[in-house]
Structures are given as C-alpha cells and as structure tokens.
Amino acid sequence: MGAHAPFDLGGRTALVTGANTGIGQGIALALAQAGARVVVAGRSSMDETLALIADAGGAAIPLSVDLQKPGIAAEVVSEAIAVAGPLDILVNNAGIIRRADALDFSEADWDEVMNLNLKATFFLSQAFAKTALAAGRSGRIVNIASLLSFQGGIRVASYTASKSGLAGLTRLLACEWAARGINVNAIAPGYIESNNTQALRADADRNTAILARIPAGRWGKPSDIGGAAVFLASDAAAYIHGAIIPVDGGWLAR
C-alpha cells in the first residue's frame, strides 16, 4: 500500500455488483489478485466467481441481492459491511440491456434498465459515501460506463440514456466528493466478450462489422477491464477524479 507498491490493494475491501459473470467477474478477480477482499453481489449464483478467486488465492464473500428492489442500496452496503467490515472500494458494474427499435421501445424496458443502470448506481454510491465519510475513511468508486456514454448506438434507447447519464453522474459525484477523500471515476468498456454482447457476436454480419472497426482487431476480455479497475481503485490513481477511461481496443480513436 505504500509508495513502493502503488497498485497493491492489500488490506482493502471492495464491493462489486453484478459479479457473477462477464465484466463484473473479471473485475472481482483482478481486485482479489491485487490483494483486496471482495464482496461479490448479485442476483445469480456467484459460485463460478468464488471458485476463480479461490483458485487465484484470493478472498471473496458472496452477497445475494436484487438491485431492482426500491430502497435496496443502503441495505446492500450495510450487509456488505456486516460480512466484510468497512468498505474501501465500490464497483458499480451491475447492468442490463434491452434491445428494440425506438419506435417500439416499451416503458417496461425503459424503467427496468434505468432503475438498475442509473438509479441503483447513484444510491449505492450515496450509501457507500455516507458510511465512508461518517467513519472518516477515504474511498474509491468505479462506475462501469460504456462506449454509449459517448455514442448513440442503435436499438438500445434506455441503455444509451442510462450510460450517458452515468457519465454525467460520475463527474457530478467527483465534483462533490473529491475534496472529501472519495475518488469517483468510470471505465467505458468497448466490445467485451460477455452475456450482454452474446447477441452481437452470434450475428455474423454485426460481428464482422464490429471487429473491422476495432483497431486492436479483437473483442475485449473481462480481464482487460479488471486491470483498469485495479488502477482506479489503487493509490496510483489518487489524483484522478471524474475521469471516464475507455478500454475499447481503440474503438473511439477510429
């Protein structure tokens, strides 16, 4: 944790939402490998994530939560602290996507995505910051944004709205909390191999078109996002506030 090891997360405790698969799993594993104790939270079974972390010699504690439930955020943070002690790091990764043409997009698909991707992220951040500030502790919040925080995309109206909103929220919270010892930043993953992109990878035409535009020439892996999360959670990123770091194989540079 000292100056000699700025990326070491030893002695720190992290809460990662949506850690059962994909990007959340990659982040949880990377934080654990960097020495953090990780509370992995989500609706689905965490067994695979727990096994990966155990195999890597890390420490993890599962927490079963439904982040769509109103008023759940403070409860989740309290439960995480109860099972793991004070939190140093919050990674707001849980998110969903719904696809339909804007002309046909349903109110249910709007509300479900906005509630999880944007509302839950804000209130989890609020609950985390309240406990950290009350205890006189510093903290790190890492939000998982998207390329659609910068671009419009197609057929994902609520997802684009939520991720654009998340970029603004990341900046606002940084402005309010930077001087109080809480760093708030975001990672904008590019096209990553995960459940959310299964439909795109299965569509031969879309898959070819996407790969043709990625300078790195490949889809990203969850571990590619994990490294950025470790950086933002570590002492190496102490003076980074309100940044949104694309990890996209060069997509936005194209």
The catalytic residue positions are: 159
End-to-end CA distance of the chain: 37
Q: How far apart are CA 241 and CA 244, in angstroms?
A: 9
Question: 10 Å Cβ neighbour count for 26?
Answer: 28
Q: Smallest Cα–Cα separation from 175: which of 242, 223, 109?
A: 242
Amino acid type, 39: V
Query: Chain centroid to CA 207: how far?
Result: 24
Q: Decide if 215 contacts 248 (C-beta within 8 A).
A: no
Amino acid at 233: A
Angle between helical axes of 107-114 and 157-177 (0-180°, round to 10): 30
CB 154 within 8 A of CB 203: no
d(CA 229, CA 224): 9
Distance CA 162, CA 146 (A): 10
CA distances, 120 to each of 65, 184, 239 (Å): 12, 16, 26
